[in-house]
A and B are shown apart, each in its own frame.
Chain A
Amino acid sequence: MLYVVVGFLWTSLLIYVLSGGADFGAGIIELFASRINKNKIRAASYRAIGPIWEANHMWLIIAVVVLFVGFPQIYTTVSVYLHIPLVIMLIGIIARGTAFSFRNYDAVQDSMQAIYNRIYVYSSFITPLFLGIICGSAVSRQIDPGALDFYDAYIFDWLNWFSIAVGFFAVFLCGFLASVYLIGEAKDRDIKSVYSRLGRKMSLAMVLFTGMLLWVAHREGIPLTIWILGNKVSLIATALCAISFVFVWIMIAAGNRAGMRVFTVLMVTSLLIAVTYSHFPNVILLKDGHVISLIGSKEGLRTISILGKALLGGSVFILPCLIYLIYTFSGSKDLPGTSEPE
C-alpha cells in the first residue's frame, strides 16, 4: 500500500504541474503579453480555464493532505524551515484565486477590473516562483536543522541562487504549458499566433534558466548533473524530455493539436522522472547529510494503508467526474460554456 500512496503522491504532483502549471501560466503569459494582446488573452483564457480552474488546484491540496497524513516528518520539516516562502506562496494563492473569480463575477465591469487583473497576473507569477523555490530548497541540501542563527535556519535555506533558479524555471515552465494548452483551445488564427509567440518566449526563458540552473549547481557544488544524468533511468528520462520539447514545437508548426499535447505531457512526465528518480525514496536532503525518506517507520504503515484505500476509493469518484468535466468544456466543442442560462 505504501507504493500506492507514493504513486498517488507522485501522480498528483505530475497532474498539478500540468494542470495547475498551465493554470498559473495563463496568468504569466498575460503578464508578458503586450497591452492589446492582454485583452484577447483574457477572454480566451477565461473561456478555456474558467470551468476547470478550481479542480486544477485541488491536486495541491491532495498532495499536502497525503504528505501530512502519510509522511508528517516531510510536511513538518518543510513547514518549519521553509516557513517564509510558504507564507509568500499562500498569499499568492489567496490573491490569485480570489482575483480570478472576482474579475469574472463582479457584477459591475469598471475600473476595478484593472486592479483584479494586476493582482491576478502578479500572483500568477509569484506563486509558482515560490513553489519552485520551496521544491528547489527541499531537495538540494539547503535546509539546516542544526543552524544556530535565524538567517541560516529560516532565510538562506531558500534565499539562495539554486532555489531561485528552480523557481524561475518553474515560472517559465508554467508559461510554456499554458501557451501550448491555449494554442489548442484557441478558435481563430489571430489569437493562436499570439499564444504561439508567447510560447516561444517562454521556451527561450525556460532553456535559459536550465542553463543557469546547471551553472549555479556546478558553482555551489550541488550534484545536479549526477542526479539527472548519473543513472540509466534519469539519463533516458532527461533525453526523452529534451526530444519531446523539440517535438512539441514541430507539432505546433504542423498545427497538430493532439500531437503537441501528447508531447507536452511526455516532456513534463520525463522531466519529473528525471529529477525524482535518483532521489527516491528520499524527499528532503538536509545540509548535514541526513535525508527524510518516504519509507519511514513501521508505526505509520497502518495509517498509510488506510490512506491508500481512501485514495483509491476517492479516485473512483473523482476521475470519471473530472474527465467528464474536461470533456464537456473542451475547446473542440462549439457551444460556449457560459454562466448564464439561455
Chain B
Amino acid sequence: MNDIIAARSQMALSMIFHIVFSCIGMTMPFFMAVANFIYLRTGNPVYKNVTVAWSKGVAIFFATGAVSGTVLSFELGLLWPGFMKEAGPIIGMPFSLEGTAFFIEAIALGFYLYGWQRLNRWFHWMTGLLVGLTGIASGILVVSANSWMNDPAGFDFVQNKFIHVDPYRAMFNKAWFEEALHMSIAAFAATGFAVAGVHAFMILKRKNVEFHSTGFRIAAIFGCIAALLQPFSGDLSARFVAEHQPAKLAAMEAHFKTQKRAPLIIGGIPDVKNKTVKYGLEIPALLSVMVYGDPQAEVTGLDKIPVEKQPPVPVVHYAFQIMVALGMAMLSVSLVYFIALFWRRAWFGHDWIFKLFALLTPFGFIAVESGWIVTEVGRQPWIIQGFMTTAEALTPMPGIKYTFYLFMLVYISLAFTVVFLLYRQIKMVPVKYDRYN
C-alpha cells in the first residue's frame, strides 16, 4: 500500500467513523428535547423515561464524536500538511465558528446531563435544546469547509500561490447551501430511521411496548419528514454538481459520452476500458431532463475530461446508486408511515409496519456514508477542485500505512464497544428506564 492510498484510507476511515457519531450528536438532542417537552407539558412518566434513556445514548455518542472530531482536526495536518498550509487561513472562518458552536454544545450537554436536580426544569429543557441547535450549527459550519473544497472561492491563484485571501467569500462559497442542506436533512433521516428501527425491533419482541412505542413515534416522525424532503435537496445538489463539477456528475451517473438527450443509467457495471455500462437500465433523455429540465440539453460526459483528471468511475457510480436506492426505500416507507398515521391507524396494530422499520435501521447511515464517498472520491484527483491535487497535499512522512492500520484497529474496537454499550442500554431498559411498565 503506497502512502497516498494509505493516507486516503485513513482519512476515509476517520470520516466514516466520525460522521455516524456527529449525525447522532446533531439530531438526537432534538428527539430528546421533544420527549422532554411532552413530559414537562403532560407529566406522563413514559416520556421522562424515554428522555433519560436517550440522553444516555447522546452522552455516549457525543463523547465518541467529540474525540473522533478532535482526531480529525489533527489528521488534517498529519496527513495533508500541503493542503492545510494553504487552505487553513482561507477556510479558517467556518472552523473557528464551528469551534465556538461546539464549545457551547459541550457546555450545554454538561448542564443537561448533570443538571436534572439542580436547574429549573424549563431551563434544563432549554439546555437540551441548545445541545441540538449548536450541534446542527457546527455541522453546517464544518460542511462549509468541505464545500469550499468542491467550489473553491475567496482567493486569487497566481503563480501557484494562493493570495488575496478573503475568508468571507471562502466561507460563503456557492456549494455551501446545497451541501449543508443535504447533510442536515440526511442527519435527521439517518438518525430518525436508526432510532425508530431499534425501537421497532423491541416492539416486535414485545418488550416494554409503551416505552418503545413512544420512542418509535418521535424518532419516526423526524426521520420520515426528513426522508420526504431529501429528494428535493438531492435534486438541488445534483444540478449544482453538474454545473461546477461535471467530472463528478459524469462519474456518479457513469455517463461516458457527452450527448444531448442523455439517458439516466440505473444500476449497471461501468466498464471504464470500453466506456460502457453493462446490465444497466437506461431511461432515454432523463438525465438531461433532471439536470437541466430540458431533454435536448447536452450533459458533459467523461470523454470531455482528460483521463488524469477523472475520478474512479465504478466506486463513485456504485456509491451514488446505493445512496439513491436507500433514499428511495426510506421515502417509500415514510409515505407508508404517514398514511398509517393520518388515515390508517389500524396498521400500527400489525407487525409488518414495525418489521419494515426494523429492516431499514441501517439504511440511513449507509446512505450517508455512500453520499460522502460520492462527494469525496468524486472530487479526485483534486483536494481543492481545480487548484491542488490530493497527491500534492500529502505529508512527506513515509510509512503512513502503519498509522492507518493502527487507527483501523482503534476504530474497529471502538465501534464494537459502542454497539456493545448500546445493546446493554437497550437490554437494561426494563430495569433502569421503564421500571413501572
Which positions in A face B, CB cutoff 8 Å? 50-52, 54-55, 57-58, 60-62, 64-66, 68-70, 72-73, 75-76, 78-80, 83, 86-87, 90-91, 93-95, 97-98, 100-102, 104-108, 150, 153-154, 299-300, 302-303, 306-307, 310-311, 313-314, 317-318, 321-322, 325, 328-329, 333, 335-342
Given A50-B114, A68-B92, A317-B104, A79:B395 Cβ within 8 A:
yes
Nearest 7 Cβ contacts at the A-B interface: A69-B92, A79-B77, A314-B100, A101-B63, A107-B428, A72-B88, A76-B81
B110 engages A341 (CB within 8 Å)? no
Contacts A/B (CB < 8 Å), 25 sampled: A61-B69, A61-B102, A69-B96, A70-B89, A72-B85, A76-B82, A79-B78, A79-B395, A87-B78, A91-B406, A91-B410, A97-B70, A98-B64, A100-B63, A101-B59, A102-B60, A107-B421, A107-B425, A108-B424, A299-B165, A303-B92, A306-B93, A314-B103, A325-B107, A339-B59
**Chain A contacts for B70, CB-based, 8 A:** 57, 60-61, 90, 93, 97
Q: Which residues on B sit within 8 Å (CB–CB) of A310?
A: 93, 96-97, 100
CB contacts (< 8 Å) of A306 on chain B: these are: 92-93, 167-168
Contact of B432 among A64, A76, A107, A325 (CB under 8 A): A107
Compute how far the CA of A106 lies from the CA of B57 in the bound complex, rounded to whole angstroms. 10
B167 contact set on A, CB distance < 8 A? 302-303, 306
Assembly CA distance A94 to B56 (angstroms): 19
Known: A97-B66, A318-B104, A328-B115. A54 touches B395 (CB 8 A): no
Closest approach, in angstroms, between the C-beta of A20 and any C-beta of chain B? 12
Choice from A95, A322, A338, A339 contacting B56 with Cβ under 8 Å = A339
The answer to whether B387 has its CB under 8 Å from any CB of chain A is no
Q: Across the interface, name the chain A residue whose C-beta is closest to B57.
A: A105
Specify the chain A residue showing the minimal Cβ separation from B100.
Answer: A314
CB nearest neighbor in B for A80: B81
Tell me whether A90 and B74 are in contact (CB under 8 A).
Answer: yes
Q: Which residues of the partner chain B approach A154 to less than 8 Å between Cβ atoms?
A: 397
A299 — which chain B residues lie within 8 A by C-beta? Answer: 163, 165
Contact indicator A311/B96 (Cβ below 8 Å): yes
Of A65, A150, A322, A329, the residue contacting B114 (CB under 8 A) is: A329
Q: Is the interface of A mostly helix, strand, loop or mixed?
A: helix
Contact, CB under 8 Å: B397 / A105: no
Contacts of B118 in A (CB 8 A): 328-329, 333, 335, 337
Are B63 and A79 in contact, CB atoms less than 8 angstroms apart? no
Q: Which residues of B contact A102 (CB under 8 A)?
A: 60, 417, 421
Given A68-B76, A69-B96, A101-B63: A51 and B424 interface contact (C-beta under 8 Å) = no
- Is B150's CB within 8 Å of the partner chain A? no
Q: A79-B81, A97-B67, A338-B116 are in contact. Are A66 and B397 (CB under 8 A)?
A: no
**Contacting B84 at CB < 8 Å: which of A68, A70, A105?**
A68
The one of A64, A91, A93, A105 in contact with B421, judged by C-beta atoms closer than 8 angstroms, is A105
Which one of B71, B81, B116 contacts A90 once the chains associate, using CB atoms below 8 Å?
A: B71
Q: Is the CB of A340 within 8 A of B52?
A: yes
Contacts A55-B103, A302-B167, A341-B52 given: A69-B95 contact, CB under 8 Å? Answer: yes
Given A107-B427, A329-B114, the answer on whether A94 and B71 have CB atoms closer than 8 Å is yes
Q: Does B38 have its Cβ within 8 Å of any Cβ on chain A?
A: no
Asked whether any CB of chain A lies closer than 8 Å to the CB of B276, the reply is no
| Complex CA distance for A66 and B103, rounded to whole angstroms | 14
- Tell me whether A58 and B96 are in contact in the complex, defined as CB-CB below 8 angstroms, given that A93-B71, A107-B428, A325-B107 are known contacts: no
Name the one of B68, B93, B114 contacting A51, with C-beta atoms under 8 angstroms. Answer: B114
Closest chain-B Cβ to A230's Cβ sits at a distance in Å of 32
The docked-state distance in angstroms from the alpha carbon of A299 to that of B396 is 25
Nearest CB on B from A237, distance (A)? 29
A65 touches B96 (CB 8 A): yes
B15 interface contact, C-beta 8 A: no
